[in-house]
Structure 1
């Protein structure tokens, strides 16, 4: 059976494929695409933060509030950017339809 850390590492490959195709398509709103890349940054930050939590505090990242909250800030930022990016695209589309 796969451990959660191995499963986490394996999940990066489909996500990298997702980013590749979203970027390559040229149809993803730029701000939303930045948000998807910030999510990758969240993952990159979370891994060493989890290791540090284990080594320094002897517990998981979820149990070290200041460290966990700092890492989660990147997840929040990612979500905000994705939502704002798609919101901009919807508003732009609606505006274009009104002027047709």
Structure 2
């Protein structure tokens, strides 16, 4: 199995993960937004990879400006997930202190 097929197949479990996280109602909103931004990263990376191959004859990883531009969305996704869960932990700790 090549990496492109594996990449495409991996989207289905991730979409299932998003469905469960969204419908559980327990995921912090900002973290959930971060998980969805990861889909934006995927949506940007695919055409960027095609562009790199067609116009430069190289893989996306070897066209720095294009690769870095796509990676911004991955970085943003990670930041949102971390901040979202951090806020949830702080809120939980604060509610524990108030109940004691």
Flag whether TM exceeds 0.5 (same fold).
yes
Structure 1 spans left out of the alignment, 5+ residues: none
Equivalent residue, structure 1, for 2:65:
66
What secondary structure is seen at the aligned counterpart in 2 of 1:21? helix
**C-alpha separation in 1, matches of 2:56 and 2:40:** 23
Equivalent residue, structure 1, for 2:27:
28
RMSD over equivalenced CA pairs, Å: 0.3
Q: CA deviation at 1:33?
A: 0.1
- In the TM superposition, what are the counterparts of 1:33-52 in structure 2 within 5 Å? 33-52=32-51
**C-alpha separation in 1, matches of 2:47 and 2:3:** 16
Q: CA deviation at 1:65?
A: 0.4
**C-alpha separation in 2, matches of 1:88 and 1:14:** 27
What secondary structure is seen at the aligned counterpart in 1 of 2:26? coil
Once the two structures are superposed, residues 2-47 of structure 1 have per-residue CA deviations (whole angstroms, 9 ceiling, x without a partner) of 1100000000000000000000000000000000000111011100
Q: CA deviation at 1:50?
A: 0.2
What secondary structure is seen at the aligned counterpart in 2 of 1:81? helix
Q: Structure 2 length normalisation: TM-score? A: 0.98
What secondary structure is seen at the aligned counterpart in 2 of 1:99? helix
Equivalent residue, structure 2, for 1:78:
77
Q: CA deviation at 1:83?
A: 0.2
Structure 2 spans left out of the alignment, 5+ residues: none
What is the number of equivalent residue pairs in this alignment?
A: 99
After the TM superposition, which segments of 4 or more aligned residues of structure 1 sit over 3 Å from their partners? Answer: none
**C-alpha separation in 2, matches of 1:81 and 1:98:** 26
